């Protein structure tokens, strides 16, 4: 079961700068941490990252910018984020982002537990119950 965990490994602490990236294409890296019912994605978006096509998903996503500057395109609106700005993306709304300064942007994305991202959290000992 996806929510089974090893109580002896809890609480679990990981540094997201040190865990294996789920995504690393040279212009963006993303590492993911999971809990029982939620996930956090930590992305470093380089200034030279090509623009990604807008996408949607069936759940809300919260995004908190930690460092740098990002433009989010949400629906037909462009929203500029500065450090510590947070934005909520409603379910089913097209969105994408881009770094807009010469420095990388660091972003946290908060999602419900996503089965399509579970493989990115295989490093977490507390969920290795087999």
CATH code of the domain covering residue 48: 2.60.120.10
E strand map for 59-126: 61-67, 70-74, 77-81, 86-89, 95-99, 105-112
- pTM for the full predicted model: 0.89
Q: Does the pLDDT at position 3 exceed 70?
A: yes
Place of tokens 């490093």: 123
Q: Is the pLDDT confidence value at 51 over 70?
A: yes
Q: Is residue 2 in some structural domain?
A: no
Tell me the residue range of the domain where 59 lies.
7-127
Ramachandran area for residue 34 (φ above 0: left; ψ -120 to 50: alpha; else beta): beta
Structural domains counted in the chain: 1
| Residue 52 confidence (pLDDT) above 90 | no
- Per-residue pLDDT tens digits for 82-128: 999 999 999 999 999 988 989 999 999 999 999 889 999 999 999 87
User: Is residue 60 included in any domain, yes or no?
Assistant: yes
Average pLDDT of every residue of the chain: 92
- Between 50 and 79, the higher pLDDT residue: 79
Average pLDDT (7-35) is 91
């Amino acid at each position: 079961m996806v929510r089974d965990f090893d109580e002896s490994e809890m609480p679990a602490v990981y540094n997201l700068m040190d865990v294996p990236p789920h995504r690393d294409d040279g212009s963006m890296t993303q590492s993911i941490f999971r809990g029982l019912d939620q996930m956090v994605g930590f992305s470093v978006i380089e200034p030279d990252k090509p623009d990604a096509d807008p996408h949607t998903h069936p759940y809300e996503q919260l995004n908190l910018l930690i460092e740098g500057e990002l433009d989010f395109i949400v629906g037909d609106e462009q929203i500029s984020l500065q450090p510590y700005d947070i934005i909520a993306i409603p379910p089913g709304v097209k969105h994408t982002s881009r770094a807009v300064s010469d420095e990388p942007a660091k972003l946290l994305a908060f999602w419900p537990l996503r089965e399509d991202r579970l493989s990115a959290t295989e490093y977490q000992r507390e969920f290795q119950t087999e």
